Amino acid sequence: MSNLSEDTQEVDVQDLFRVFGPVHRVHLAKNKYTQMSKGFAYVSFYNRPDAEKALEKLNGHGYDNLILRVEWSM
């Protein structure tokens, strides 16, 4: 997912996605010097249908005054 604000924390991403099913892992990319969000994260679900549901519902969703972009990562 991308277009996250600098203030976003890993727990924020976890909370946003866990309503769709059990989340296996969240990795929020951070600036190594400031520890602020770089604006994107990777989220892994245990079940593909949960990931599909999250992608469908959250892509284009407004969050923290920004529009989220959620897509598959290969």
pLDDT tens digits for 61-71? 999 999 999 99
**What are 3-29's pLDDT values in tens digits?**
999 999 999 999 999 999 999 999 999
CATH value of 10-67 in 1.10.150.20, 3.90.230.10, 3.30.70.330, 2.160.10.10: 3.30.70.330
**What's the rounded Cα separation, in Å, for the pair 59 and 70?**
5
Q: State mean pLDDT over 36-52.
A: 97
**What are 23-42's pLDDT values in tens digits?**
999 999 999 999 999 999 99
Query: Helix (H, G, I), strand (E, B), or coil: what is residue 71?
Result: coil
> How big, in percent rounded to 5, are the helix, strand and coil portions of the chain?
30, 30, 40
